[in-house]
Amino acid sequence: MKSYTIGREESCNIIVSDPTQMVSRNHATLNVDGNKMTIVDTSSNGTYINGIRIQSGTPVPVTRKDVVSFAQVAELDWKVVPKEGGKNVLVILGVIAAVLLAGGGAWYFLNREKHEDKNKTGENEVEQMWKDLGVKVDTLKSAVPGLIADIKAAGDSLAAVQELLDNKNTAAKKDAKIAENVKKSLWQAEDKLKSVNAEELQKSLESVIQSIGDKSEATRTRVSELEKKVADGKSVIAAVNSLLNTAKGEIATLPDQKGKAKPKPEPSKDAKEEPVNRVINI
């Protein structure tokens, strides 16, 4: 098996003259074993076979019909690669002092401005992405605490409605049926309320804030996940409040319990004690 190093370095078997310097000094190695050939990428900017970038450090089968390019600015001229039983490598090296992808260097300079514009566009897109994420995070900073407050308020309302029901007289058959429907609504509201976790929402918000501060790649995913949690949570709270409002309406039709002791009003702290006249018999 014969191996041919390819790159800008003068010590390479196949030298690629690349004024852009996008081709590495030692860009790739072509291994020829009879009629079988493999190419190994050893570069920073990649080796491509028919437009597809190959994995670095892994031998990939290749044929003379394939278009092999280096950093997408230079191509391999198969004429300089000896065939089985061909000329001596040293003779070939004299013929191929420099191999440049057909029109690769010229193409780069002719399109240099286009490349620069494309890079600027890419940078602007990334910058805009982080700005958009920042706006979303600012919105979540308000939405999450608001949702947590709504969760607590819904829990308090649930307890209050349950207390209203407890103070009603449901001895009559029709009243008992209404009370049973109310209980079912309260059970449903309680189950829905358990599906939103205030502590988990707070932790997710803290994770998102930390992520955008670090400009982590996971920021976009974490923001999307938290936005979904908030949207789902709002839907749950809306459903819970609807159930509680319906329950309160039904409870209002029930009679109050009779004979239930009413709490005695506590004396006002501002009330002054009247003097007590005592009669003493001697």
Domain count, the chain: 2
Same-domain status, 92 and 186: no
243 lies in a domain? yes
Mean pLDDT of the chain: 83
Same-domain status, 178 and 239: yes
CATH number of residue 81's parent domain = 2.60.200.20
Same-domain status, 94 and 149: no
Same-domain status, 178 and 102: no
Alpha-carbon separation of residue 234 from 50, 198, 229, 238 (angstroms):
51, 12, 9, 6
Of 3-7, 124-128, 253-257, 271-275, least confident by mean pLDDT is 271-275
5 — pLDDT class (breaks 50, 70, 90): very high
169 lies in a domain? yes
Same-domain status, 106 and 123: no
Same-domain status, 247 and 130: yes
105 — pLDDT class (breaks 50, 70, 90): low
264 lies in a domain? no
Q: Which domain holds residue 46?
A: 2-110
Of 110, 137, 155, the last residue of a domain is 110
Q: Give residue-wise pLDDT tens across range 221-274.
A: 999 999 999 999 999 999 999 999 999 999 999 999 874 444 555 655 555 555
Average pLDDT value for residue range 135-140: 93
Q: Residue 91 above 70 pLDDT?
A: no
Of 70-84, 150-164, 250-264, least confident by mean pLDDT is 250-264
Q: Residue 123 above 80 pLDDT?
A: no
Which of the listed ranges 33-37, 61-65, 95-99, 277-281 does the model predict with the highest average pLDDT? 61-65
How many Cα atoms occupy the beta-carbon half-sphere of 265 within 13 Å? 3
pTM of the model: 0.50
Same-domain status, 145 and 167: yes
Helix axes 112-166, 219-251, angle to 10 degrees: 20
Same-domain status, 135 and 84: no
Same-domain status, 74 and 102: yes
Quick one: DSSP state of residue 99?
B
